[in-house]
């Protein structure tokens, strides 16, 4: 595959992961916010299940979006967000958390109890999302500081 096709495929997969993750995250948050309050007639079990499954969908959607952001770093492709070397390493670590968390969670779930394996995978996904979020904040701060330095230099006439 040529580099242009490779770049296009990575960008398409990345866009699908990030957009799907964002849409599902917004949908879950919207459904949580519009969920009616539980009545005293015993709706608590159904409400609890909806919160449980909604939370799992939320974590997986945010994890998918995070994986989409980390994908070019995992594949060694060029990134339009211009992450530096250390940011790419952090994103590769986050991608490793996604993949290794899934494998360890699946193995643990099959060898012991499936809910425990699912819990391990969700914890690894949450940690990976935190790493991706920190890297995005780090990169945004770099962009802000660079723009501020350019603005100050332009105003001082240099």
Q: DSSP readout, the chain?
A: --HHHHHHHHHHHHHHHHHHHHHHHHHHHHHHHHPPPPPTTTTHHHHHHHHHHHHHHHHHHHHHHHHHHHHHHHHT---TT---HHHHHHHHHHHHHHHHHHHHHHHHHHHS-HHHHHHHHHHHHHHHHHHHHHHHHHHHHHHHHHHHHHHHHHHHT-
CA distance 154 to 158: 6
| pLDDT tens figures, 91-150 | 888 888 888 988 998 898 888 888 888 888 888 888 988 898 898 899 889 989 988 998
Joined together, the tokens standing for residue 14 give 């990345």
CA distance 88 to 131: 11
Q: Does residue 78 or residue 35 have the better pLDDT?
A: 35
Question: What pTM was estimated for this model as a whole?
Answer: 0.73
Q: 9: pLDDT confidence band, cut at 50, 70 and 90?
A: confident
Overall average pLDDT of the 59-80 stretch:
80
The pLDDT value recorded for residue 83 is: 81
Please state which of the ranges 45-54, 121-130, 148-157 shows the lowest mean pLDDT: 45-54
CA distance 72 to 91: 9
Joined together, the tokens standing for residue 51 give 């919160």
Q: Does residue 12 or residue 76 have the better pLDDT?
A: 12
CA distance 128 to 59: 11
What is the domain count for the chain? 1
Domain that residue 113 falls in: 3-156
| pLDDT tens figures, 10-24 | 888 888 888 998 899
Q: Please state, in angstroms and as integers, the Cα–Cα distance from residue 11 to each residue in 38, 56, 111, 126, following that order.
A: 43, 26, 37, 24
């Amino acid at each position: 595959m040529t580099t242009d096709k490779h770049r296009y495929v990575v960008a398409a997969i990345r866009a699908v992961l990030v957009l799907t993750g964002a849409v599902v995250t917004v949908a879950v948050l919207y459904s949580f916010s519009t969920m009616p309050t539980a009545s005293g007639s015993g709706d608590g079990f159904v409400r609890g299940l909806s919160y449980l499954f909604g939370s799992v969908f939320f974590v997986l959607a945010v994890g998918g979006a995070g994986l989409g952001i980390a994908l070019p770093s995992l594949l060694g492709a060029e990134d339009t967000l211009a992450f530096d070397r250390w940011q790419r390493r952090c994103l590769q670590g986050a991608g490793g958390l996604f993949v290794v968390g899934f494998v360890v969670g699946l193995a643990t779930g099959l060898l012991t109890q499936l809910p425990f394996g699912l819990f391990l995978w969700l914890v690894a996904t949450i940690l990976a999302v935190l790493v991706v979020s920190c890297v995005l904040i780090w990169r945004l701060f770099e962009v802000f500081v660079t723009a501020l330095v350019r603005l100050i230099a332009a105003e001082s006439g240099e």
